[in-house]
Structure 1
Amino acid sequence: MRVFVQIPCLNEEETLPLVINSIPKEIPGVDELHILVIDDGSTDRTVEVARSLGVEHFVIHARNMGLARSFSDGVDYALSHGADIVVNTDGDNQYPQDRIPDLLAPIIAGEADIAIADRQTATIKHFSPFKKAMQRFGSGVVNKAAGTKLPDAASGFRAYSRNALFRLNVVTQFSYCMETIIQAGNKRLRIASVPVETNAKTRESRLFKNIWQHMFKSGTAIVRSFLMFKPHVVLMTIGIIMAIIGLIPMVRWFVFFLLGDGAGNMQSLLLGVMFMLGSFLSFVLLVIADLQRTNRVLLEDTLERVKRIEFGGPHVAGTQYTVLDLGHDTDGVEEVQRLRFDESSQ
Structure 2
Amino acid sequence: MVSVVIPTYNERENLQTLLPQLLYRFAASQTRAEVIVVDDTSPDGTAEIVQYYRRRFPHRLRLLSQPGKMGLGNAYRVGMKNALEHGADYVVQMDADGSHDHKDLARLLSPLAKQQADLVIGSRYVSGGDVQNWSLRRRLMSRSGAAYARTILQSRIHDITSGFRAWDRELLGKTLFTTTRSDGYAFQIEMARRAELAGGRIVELPITFTERRDGVSKLSREIVREAVVTPWKI
Task: Give 1:150's match in structure 2, choosing from 135, 140, 157.
Answer: 157
The one-letter code sitting in structure 2 at the alignment partner of 1:25 is F
2:228 alignment partner, one of 219, 235, 238 = 219
Q: How does 1:200-239 map to 2 (within 5 A)?
A: 200-202=211-213, 203-206=215-218, 208-209=219-220, 212-225=221-234
Q: How does 1:120-199 map to 2 (within 5 A)?
A: 120=125, 123-169=130-176, 170-175=180-185, 176-199=187-210
Cα pair 2:90 2:168 within 8 Å, conserved: yes
Structure 1's 123 and 161: CA in aligned 2 closer, same or farther, altered over 3 A? Answer: closer
Residue 99 (structure 1) aligns with: 104
**Is 1:79 matched up with 2:90?**
no
Contact kept, 8 Å, 1:118 with 1:151, in 2: the verdict is yes
State the shift of 1:147 in Å: 4.5
CA contact (8 A) 2:125 2:159 kept: yes
Instruction: Please state how far the C-alpha of 1:69 moved relative to its aligned partner.
Output: 0.3
* 7-16 or 49-58, larger mean C-alpha shift: 49-58
Bigger-Rg structure (1/2): 1
Distance across 2 between alignment mates of 1:22 and 1:69? 26
Q: Is the 8 A contact 1:138 1:153 kept in 2?
A: no
What is residue 52 of structure 2 aligned with on the other side? Answer: 52
Cα distance, 1:163–1:123 mapped onto 2, change above 3 Å:
closer
What CA distance in whole angstroms lies between the structure 1 residues aligned with 2:110 and 2:172? 17
Query: Matches of residues 2-17 of structure 1 in structure 2 within 5 Å?
Result: 2-17=1-16
Letter in 2 for 1:218: A
Cα distance change on mapping 1:185 and 1:144 into 2, 3 Å: farther
The one-letter code of the counterpart of 2:80 is V
Kindly provide the CA deviation profile for residues 209-249 of structure 1, in whole angstroms up to 9, marking residues without a partner as x. Answer: 2xx54332101111111xxxxxxxxxxxxxxxxxxxxxxxx
TM-score (norm 2): 0.85
d(CA) in 2 for partners of 1:114, 1:146: 18
Which residue is 2:39 aligned to?
39
Deviation at 1:178, TM superposition (A): 0.3
Give yes or no for contact 1:136–1:151 (8 Å, CA) kept in 2: no
Amino acid at match of 2:167: Y
Within 1, Cα distance between the matches of 2:172 and 2:88? 10
The change in CA–CA distance for 1:27 and 1:177 in structure 2 (over 3 A counts) is: farther
Helix, strand or coil for the counterpart of 1:42? coil
Which structure is richer in relative contact order (CA contacts within 8 A, separation 6 or more)?
2
Residue 22 of structure 1 aligns to a residue in which SS? Answer: helix
Mind listing any 5+ residue stretches in structure 2 that lack a counterpart? none
Whole-angstrom distance in 2 between the partners of 1:84 and 1:158: 14
Task: List gaps (5 residues or longer) in structure 1.
Answer: 226-346
Partners of 2:87 and 2:130 in 1: how far apart? 38
Q: Is the 8 A contact 1:38 1:58 kept in 2?
A: yes
- The code of the aligned residue for 1:140 comes to A
